[in-house]
Structure 1
Amino acid sequence: MPTTPWYRDGRLHFGAGIENTFVPQERAGERAIDEYALTDHYAQWSGDLDLAVSVDAEFLRWGIPWHVVSPEPGRWDWSWTDRVLDGFAARGLRPIVDLLHYGTPTWIEGEFAHPDYPSFVTEYAARAAERYRDLATDYTPVNEPMLHSLFSGEYGYWPPYRSGPAGLVQIATAIARGFVGTQRAVADVLGHEATFVHVDASMRYAGDVDAPEHRETAYRYAHQAFLVEDLVTGRVGPDHALLPFLLAHGLDDDALTWFADNAVQPDVMGVNYYPRHSTELFESGIHHGGGFADPRPTRDDGVEGLEEMLRTYAERYGAPVMLAETCVTDDVPTRLAWLDASVAAVNGLRADGVDVVGYTWWPLFDMYEWTYRHSELPRAAHLLTMGLHDLVETPTVLARRRNPVADRFAEHASRGAR
């Protein structure tokens, strides 16, 4: 008898995440980012899973380091991930597995721009699904695919350093093709047992969006926030707001037909929302390039923005939604206030009929800012105080120290389990 999927049992499920950004490529002035190395998760994974259990998390968003399991073409090393996923099972903790969280292995020349990137990532996904078919059934094919596309395709900030509209369309299309291949490969292995949690970043635009110098860009960005998800779900058709832009910058009719014919859908639509970063402002008379290196100013729209984003994704994609990442980077009282306010907002949406099935505090323990890549300073200079547990440098180990946010999270999770 088929069992009811976890996201259909009527409860709000609480979980956490371990930051798993991987950009292993290096060049002059740019260090590799491997958050598992920076946070010592490779060595401390067992204790880290215990931390998740200690706060009553039902699930943990966690990623396979593709560059580690595939260090060279044709060579696979699953030894570390074998131990970790066995550890999930031993603890009764559900992994929601990120297959791609920004980086590719270093041997893929041109990264997402390599003509065979979709086939490379599809093979990797199929191998992972087959190897862990008894340990993991919940997969996120690509975490934040639009941010991938912007950082690597429009802003020229991460490999392969494309820029401008043509770069954006090239990288977004390649990532979307790999996304489709990944989901179909996992589904071929797991069948109806597979659950696909698509996850993208909230991108809201406000301020002087109608100023003549910003109107065209602001309109594009408002629709572009959904571009990769629209491509993979077959929603880019004759009436799509970005169709003229896409066709003008490299997408052709054959590609559109391919996406329509091979569309994949989310079982759960994950929404990442950070109140201090998810709403960018356009200012009349002021040009900001946008992106990590040249950001527009932001506005904290708090729970109002959160509620809008969850409603928008639920309506646009017709799937249950989950808050897949949220937090504020600040002191403990400020984090506690956001935790309480955001949980209350999610429960309010549920009471109003919005099918919100999950709440994720990100991360389980602190992380290091991506500016580490362009810095010569030690990792401690880039610490982000975000977690349910603090990272504390000691002479012998990078310690994890539980803070009051973990206690409050556990209270919310315990109520959600009832």
Structure 2
Amino acid sequence: MFATGIECSYPKVDGGRLRRDLLAECGHYERWREDLDLVKGLGLRYLRYGLPYHLTHLGPGRYDWSFSDVVMQGMRERGIVPILDLLHFGVPDWLGNFQNPDLPAHFAEYAEAVARRYPWVKHWTPVNEIYVAARVSAKDGFWNEQLRSDHAFVTALKHLVAASLLAGRAILRHRPDALIIQSESAEYFHELRAVPSRDNRIANAMRFVSLDLLYGNPPDAEVYRYLLESGLTKGEFDWFMSFDAPGHQVLGLDYYGRNERLLKPDGGVIPAEDVLGWYQLARQYYRRYRKPLMHTETNVFDKQAAPGWLWKQWINVLRLRGDGIPVLGFTWYSLVDQIDWDTELREKNDRVVNCGLYDLDRKPNPVAQDYRELLAEYGGIGPVVHAGFLTPADLPAQPRRES
């Protein structure tokens, strides 16, 4: 699944006074037809796409489908297959923020309403980057509730994981063959000390915590202790461990150079960029969860360096496939340049970040031509190594007849 994505984040900042709606700030609401034509023109079939949850879900049982209907029909007309993203770093005003214990139930209702309205959609990301959403909102204090505590972080985490699980189950009521592509950030902290610290060991274990709860994988002992000390009850933990993640699960791993960080002896932190790379990090995640993988996001904030970064990421995918590990897709994120992601949206500077296949005037950046070349060379490869003879189909699998 070669893909790109429309940047659709919508967290609240500035004490909840400002909504950072990137669909608006990057011009997609007005130029969605042009954006879909760019996707089609590149020869891409798949598009990571987020409906504006904050504008669509007006209250319990109340929805505004006016924008969603036209853009979803536009995708159908162009033969674009959406990987539909339902919650991307924010919630509607009436739900407050990620501390709301009613979020999972209300969100599951919304997910079912979307699946009922668009029954032709097969690929879903219920909640984008759960770990990042909870950390930046409730531990770093930048988005939404803007809290800075372990208890707030774990509260946001458990609500978002539960929302994703319940939404997946709701989707399956209307699309039993749904493909759930969970997108999460692949990260690592390299500590430059002769004697590694306990804090950094826990930090590298914590990067798995959202997926451990999502997939019912027992976390490391220190992480389990941290969760209980920070407000997760034993009953809640048992619920996560016993909940079978619904649908056909694909583990999407997002990777940017800034995902790896060096912790210097003096306590300073600097980006590491490609010390391990997506290849080594994805191997770690695959060994832990044994799910088919997808490279669900990557870019670099330098349009001249972007072509080299694209090919480096693709080589990581090829190396992993060469090891026999199933990698089902690759994504350059996003279609057009973004606004203020150099400060994680917490500052309203209106600064353009050159990370898209196209700029905000919808003119191609250098990486667009390289993505065309990549598609021309590799567009016919199969979903797993040596699987070019397989033909994707929507028909259910049939049992083999015994002779």
SS of residue matched to 2:362 = strand
SS of residue matched to 1:99 = strand
8 A contact 1:199–1:270 mirrored in 2: yes
Q: Given the two structures, how large is their TM-score scaled by the length of structure 2?
A: 0.89
Aligned AA (1:184): R
Q: Does 1:52 align with 2:33?
A: no
Q: How many residues align?
A: 378
CA distance 1:186–1:27, change in 2 (3 Å): same
CA deviations over 1:250-298 (Å, ceiling 9, x no partner):
11110011112223166211000002x0111222232x6xxxxxxx321
1:221 pairs, out of 203, 214, 224, with 203
Tell me how far apart the structure 2 counterparts of residues 49 and 357 of structure 1 sit (CA, whole Å): 22
1:138 pairs, out of 123, 135, 138, with 123
8 A contact 1:31–1:372 mirrored in 2: no
CA distance 1:155–1:375, change in 2 (3 Å): closer
Aligned to 1:5: none
CA deviations over 1:182-233 (Å, ceiling 9, x no partner):
11111122112x1100110011110336657xx2221121111111111011
Q: Does 1:318 align with 2:304?
A: no
Aligned to 1:153: 138
2:179 pairs, out of 176, 191, 195, with 195
Q: Does 1:413 align with 2:386?
A: no
Give runs of aligned pairs for residues 288-367 of structure 1, distance below 5 A: 296-301=269-274, 304-332=276-304, 334-367=305-338
Tell me how far apart the structure 2 counterparts of residues 191 and 173 of structure 1 sit (CA, whole Å): 25
8 A contact 2:13–2:346 mirrored in 1: no
Give runs of aligned pairs for residues 12-31 of structure 1, distance below 5 A: 13-24=1-12, 27=15, 31=18
5+ long unaligned stretches in structure 2: 381-403
Displacement of 1:24 after TM fit? Answer: 4.5
SS of residue matched to 1:228 = helix
SS of residue matched to 1:230 = helix
What is the alpha-carbon root mean square deviation over aligned residues? 1.9
8 A contact 1:321–1:355 mirrored in 2: yes
Aligned to 1:395: none
What is the percent sequence identity of the aligned residues?
30
8 A contact 2:277–2:316 mirrored in 1: no
Tell me how far apart the structure 1 counterparts of residues 364 and 59 of structure 2 sit (CA, whole Å): 38
1:272 pairs, out of 233, 254, 258, with 254
Aligned to 1:291: none
8 A contact 1:209–1:218 mirrored in 2: no
Tell me how far apart the structure 1 counterparts of residues 375 and 279 of structure 2 sit (CA, whole Å): 20
8 A contact 1:271–1:309 mirrored in 2: no
Aligned AA (1:235): N
Displacement of 1:410 after TM fit? Answer: 1.3
Aligned AA (1:338): W
Displacement of 1:18 after TM fit? Answer: 1.0
Displacement of 1:91 after TM fit? Answer: 1.0
CA distance 1:211–1:21, change in 2 (3 Å): farther
5+ long unaligned stretches in structure 1: 1-12, 289-295, 392-398
SS of residue matched to 1:402 = coil
8 A contact 1:31–1:374 mirrored in 2: no
8 A contact 2:182–2:250 mirrored in 1: yes
Aligned to 1:8: none
Q: Given the two structures, how large is their TM-score scaled by the length of structure 1?
A: 0.86
Displacement of 1:240 after TM fit? Answer: 4.4
Aligned AA (2:339): Y
Aligned AA (1:413): L
SS of residue matched to 1:389 = coil
CA distance 1:187–1:376, change in 2 (3 Å): closer
8 A contact 1:236–1:256 mirrored in 2: no
Q: Does 1:400 align with 2:381?
A: no
CA distance 1:55–1:217, change in 2 (3 Å): same
8 A contact 1:24–1:106 mirrored in 2: no
Aligned AA (2:365): N
1:81 pairs, out of 59, 68, 72, with 68
8 A contact 2:46–2:81 mirrored in 1: yes
Return 97-106 or 49-58, whichever deviates more. 49-58
SS of residue matched to 1:190 = coil
Aligned to 2:265: 284
